[in-house]
Amino acid sequence: MAEIRRSGTWGSALTSDEFAAVRSVGFQPVGQVLGAAVYNVGYTGGYGCPGAWGGYNFGWGPAGQTQVSSKGGYGSFGPLVKTLYEARRAAISRMVAECAELGGHGVVGVRLTIGQFPAGGLEFKAIGTAVSAPGAPRLRQPFTSDLSGQDFAKLVHSGWMPAGLVLGITIAARHDDWQTVGQTRWSAGNSEVTGWTDLVNDARHDARQQLAADVKRIGAEGVVIANMDLRVRERECPAQEGRRDHIVEAVNIGTAIVRFTSRHLDREQHAPLAIMSLDPQRRQAARVDIGQNRG
């Protein structure tokens, strides 16, 4: 970072349109920044059947009961979710540290990715473009945002600023009980699978709750969400041979925002907007009128 600062040059991950948008609101790029963390995922939790101890229905076997990671119930994936938070935040904090070393006020266009590490484990990576506002005082903590350069400019124009990236991560699991098996048979026809509906709803709801808690943690007023990811997989039930469990991972990533002035929301404060007609006769009439007023 010191070498980059001494070089007097900078790099970015911005497109030309994003660069123009960032410059239009008084910011300029100071360099591309990166944070990475490689984690070995060992104990994940969730080894038991999420419905094995939820009661029995008419002798058909384990009853369906959704287990959500944040609740810490039997068969939940709480340890895995804790690792997913920890790894992402480690990558983000290292990216922010590079931004601070470059003298930036924040990072825009952040991309959070997870990939397989060749030697084993997972690589969590955060990459973005550090920007600064010339003449502005240094911030105690640079902001982070996954908004594009254009969306960042729109946010600033409307009187808001990014506070930081926020996360809502949940893993929910549910045993395919006798009712679910019956509703997924060909003979069931077109009907709702209530167990799977409950699983998806519980996962999405908990992910939103975790996101809201993260917004509150950093003291922001709200959040704009750019990515809501939902992945579903199945496995053989460890408690009942021939039955399946379904597991849903819900990840919400967004930019928490704060209002930095109310003046921008006052329409009377806005400068008048000049409009030029494309009609040649009207343009000529306007020139004559302007000349008469000057005379």
Percent of the chain with pLDDT over 90: 53
Side chain identity at residue 283, one-letter code: R
Give me the count of residues in the chain: 295
Side chain identity at residue 59, one-letter code: G
In this prediction, residue 139 carries a pLDDT of 84
In this prediction, residue 7 carries a pLDDT of 65
Question: Partners of 172 in the beta sheet?
Answer: 68, 248
Q: What is the pTM of this model?
A: 0.79
Mean pLDDT by 10 residues, the chain (295 residues): 68 87 93 94 79 47 75 80 94 96 94 90 94 88 94 93 95 88 87 92 95 95 90 87 89 94 46 50 53 51
In this prediction, residue 265 carries a pLDDT of 41
In this prediction, residue 243 carries a pLDDT of 83
In this prediction, residue 289 carries a pLDDT of 52
In this prediction, residue 93 carries a pLDDT of 96
CA distance 171 to 271: 50
CA distance 204 to 72: 17
Q: Where are the alpha helices (DSSP H) in the chain?
A: 2-7, 16-24, 78-101, 149-157, 178-183, 194-217, 280-294
Calculate the CA dihedral of residues 268, 272, 277, 281 and round it to 10 degrees.
110
Residue 235 backbone dihedrals phi, psi, to 5 degrees: -145, 165
Residues 57-84 have pLDDT tens digits of 444 555 567 889 888 766 678 889 999 9
Per residue, the 3-state secondary structure of 202-213, as one string, reads HHHHHHHHHHHH
CA distance 238 to 243: 9
Residue in the structure block whose two tokens are 């399946």? 244
Question: Partners of 229 in the beta sheet?
Answer: 251
Report the sign of the C-alpha dihedral through residues 61, 64, 69, 72, in that order. Answer: negative
Residues 267-290 have pLDDT tens digits of 444 444 444 455 555 555 555 554
